Structure 1
Amino acid sequence: MNKLNRIYKSYLILFSIVLSFSSCVTKQEVVYFQNAKDFETMVDTDTFEAKLKIGDIVSIYISTLNPALAQPYNIIMETGAAGEAVNYIIDIDGNIDYPVLGKIKLVGLTTEEAKELFKKKFKEGNLLKDPVVIIRILNYRITVAGAVNSPGVYPIENERVTILEALGMAGDLTIKGKRENVMVIRDQNGTKTVSRIDLTSKEVFNSPVFYLTQNDYVYVEPNNSAVSGASGDSRISTIITITSFLLTTALIFVTRN
C-alpha cells in the first residue's frame, strides 16, 4: 500500500506541474497602467478632431431662414415614398462635387473647418445669408481584431473615440492578449502607418494613436502563453496520456505483487 501511495502522490505532482505550464500568465502581463500613482492627475491637452480623408462619405445639410433658398443644395434622391438625402464621397483628389458650388476640396479638414469653408463660399458668391451648415462623417468606424472577446467592426457616432473605448466595445482583451504591444494600423489618404501602444503604462494617454480616426484597425497580438499554449496543447495531452499509462501499469504491477 505504501508503494501505491507513493505512485499516486508522484502522479499528482507531475499532473500539477503540467497544468501550471499550460496556464502561465503573470500579473505584469495583464494589469493596465501599472506605473500610475494614486490620485495622480493627468490633464488631457489633446484637442483631437477627426480630419476628412479620401474615400470618406459625408452628409451635408444646409439650412436658412428661407427654406426655398437652401433647397438647391439639399438634393433629395427619390427612393420610393420617402426621399433620401444625397451623400458625397471625397474623391482621389480630395474633392466633392457639390451643387452650384462645384468642386470643393475637403480632404485634411475637420468637419468644423469644412463648415466654415462652405459658409465662406456662400458669402463670397452672395448665395446665402447666414446659413447653418451641418456636416457628418457617415463612415466613421473602427475595426478591433485579435485577442479580444468580441472582435468586429464598430461604428462611431460622435466622431471621437479612444483606443480604450474601442477595446471596451470589443469586450476588452482576453487574458491571453498582449497588452504591451497593441497595434494600430491607420490609412491616411493612401499611406498606411503602423503604431504600437503599451496598455500597461500610463504613457498610453500620450500616444498619437490614443484617439482613433475613421477606419483605424486595432490588432491585439496574442501573448507568449497563448502562442505556446496553441502549439503545446498536443504535447500536454501526450504527457497526460503517457503519465496515465505509467500510473495504470504501476498499479497493475503493485496489485500483482
Structure 2
Amino acid sequence: MKHLFPVACISIVLMACSPQRNLVYFSNLSEVSNNQITNEAELKLQKNDQLNITMSSLNSEYNVLFASSGNSGNNNNIPGGRAGFKISNKGTITLPLLGELPVEGLKIEEARNLIAKELSKHVKSPIVDVELVNFRITVIGEVNRPASLNVPGDQLNLLEALGMAGDMTVYGKRDNVLIIRENNGMRNMARLNLNDKKVYDSPYFQLKQNDIIYVEPDKSKEKEYSSNNRALPIITACISAVAVLLTAVLK
C-alpha cells in the first residue's frame, strides 16, 4: 500500500487546485428572518410591438365592425386566427372608429384604459382587452436548452426564463448573468449576481420583451477546453505512473 501514497498526494493536490463554484442561487438569503421582496413589472409598449385587441359594446353593429377590423390599416393577422395591431414607428396604432392612438410607452393597463375612454365617446359600456403577443426572450450561453422563447402573457422574471431554458449548467457563472435590453433603439446591458438576494431589486430582474440573457461560462470550462489543458489527463497519468515506479524501485 505504500506505493499508493504518492498517487494519493498528487490527486489531492490536483483536486485542491480546481476552482470552487457556488451553485446555490441567493446563497446569502437569510434562513431565519422573513425576506419580503417586491419587484413589480414595469413593461411598457414599444414600437413594432404586436397587440391583440378585443373591443365590444352593447351595440351589435359596432361589434361587427370591430370583429372585421383585422384586415385593414396597420393590422396584422396573429397565429390562431386572431387579429392583431402593430405599433407603428410613430408609436401609434390605428383602430376602427377611433383612428390613430398613441400607445408607445404605456403599460398594458394604461393602453386598455385609453382605448376604452376613447371608445366610450362613441358606444355605451365598451369592453376592451389588450394583450401583448410578441413577448419573446432569448437565453444563450451556459444553459441546458439555449433558445428563443415565446412567453404567454406579459410578465416574466429572470429565474422563470432560466427555468424555461432548462436552468444553468454547472459551468454557468451565477454571479455574472448578462441581460441585454433594447429600448427606443438604444441597447443597455446589466450584469446580475444570482448568488445575491439583492438581485431582486434590479430593474433587469423582471424581463421585458426582446431581452437577451447570456450566461457566461466560468474559468473551469475555459481551462477544460483550452489547448494547453487538453493533455492534463495524460500528464496526470504519467505522473502517477512515475510515482508508482519510483516507489517500487526505492522499496
* Shorter-chain TM band: 0.7 to 0.9
Asked if 1:136 corresponds to 2:131, the answer is yes
| CA 35–85 in structure 1, closer or farther in 2 if over 3 Å, else same | closer
Residues 182-208 of structure 1 deviation map (CA, whole Å, 9 limit, x = unaligned): 111111121111011111111011111
Shift of 1:119: 1.4
Asked if 1:220 corresponds to 2:210, the answer is no
Letter in 2 for 1:96: I
Letter in 1 for 2:166: G
Shift of 1:218: 0.9
Structure 1: 5+ residue runs without aligned partners? 78-82
How many angstroms apart in 1 are the aligned matches of 2:55 and 2:128? 5
Shift of 1:172: 1.7
Asked if 1:176 corresponds to 2:171, the answer is yes
How many angstroms apart in 2 are the aligned matches of 1:130 and 1:119? 9
Flag the structure with larger Rg.
1
| CA 130–241 in structure 1, closer or farther in 2 if over 3 Å, else same | same
Shift of 1:9: 4.3
Aligned to 2:151: 156
Letter in 2 for 1:122: L
Aligned to 1:237: 233
How many angstroms apart in 2 are the aligned matches of 1:247 and 1:40? 53
Of Structure 1 and Structure 2, the greater helix share is in 1
Structure 2: 5+ residue runs without aligned partners? 72-79
How many angstroms apart in 1 are the aligned matches of 2:189 and 2:110? 27
Aligned to 1:123: 120
Asked if 1:103 corresponds to 2:89, the answer is no
Shift of 1:14: 3.2
How many angstroms apart in 1 are the aligned matches of 2:34 and 2:237? 54
Which of 186, 194, 209 pairs up with 2:181? Answer: 186
SS of the residue corresponding to residue 120 of structure 2 reads helix
TM-score by length of 2: 0.83
SS of the residue corresponding to residue 68 of structure 1 reads helix
Shift of 1:20: 5.4
How many angstroms apart in 1 are the aligned matches of 2:33 and 2:198? 13
Letter in 1 for 2:164: M
Asked if 1:68 corresponds to 2:88, the answer is no
Residues 93-125 of structure 1 deviation map (CA, whole Å, 9 limit, x = unaligned): 21122223222211111111111111121233x
Kept in 1: contact 2:158–2:206 (CA 8 A): yes
Shift of 1:245: 6.9
Aligned to 1:80: none
SS of the residue corresponding to residue 136 of structure 1 reads strand
What does residue range 197-216 of structure 1 map to in structure 2 within 5 Å? 197-216=192-211
SS of the residue corresponding to residue 212 of structure 1 reads coil
Kept in 1: contact 2:182–2:211 (CA 8 A): yes
SS of the residue corresponding to residue 195 of structure 1 reads strand
Query: Is the deviation greater in 162-171 or in 107-116?
Result: 162-171
TM-score by length of 1: 0.81
Letter in 2 for 1:41: N
How many angstroms apart in 2 are the aligned matches of 1:94 and 1:174? 40
Shift of 1:12: 5.0
Asked if 1:165 corresponds to 2:165, the answer is no
SS of the residue corresponding to residue 128 of structure 2 reads strand
Shift of 1:11: 4.2
Aligned to 2:25: 32
Query: Is the deviation greater in 102-111 or in 91-100?
Result: 91-100
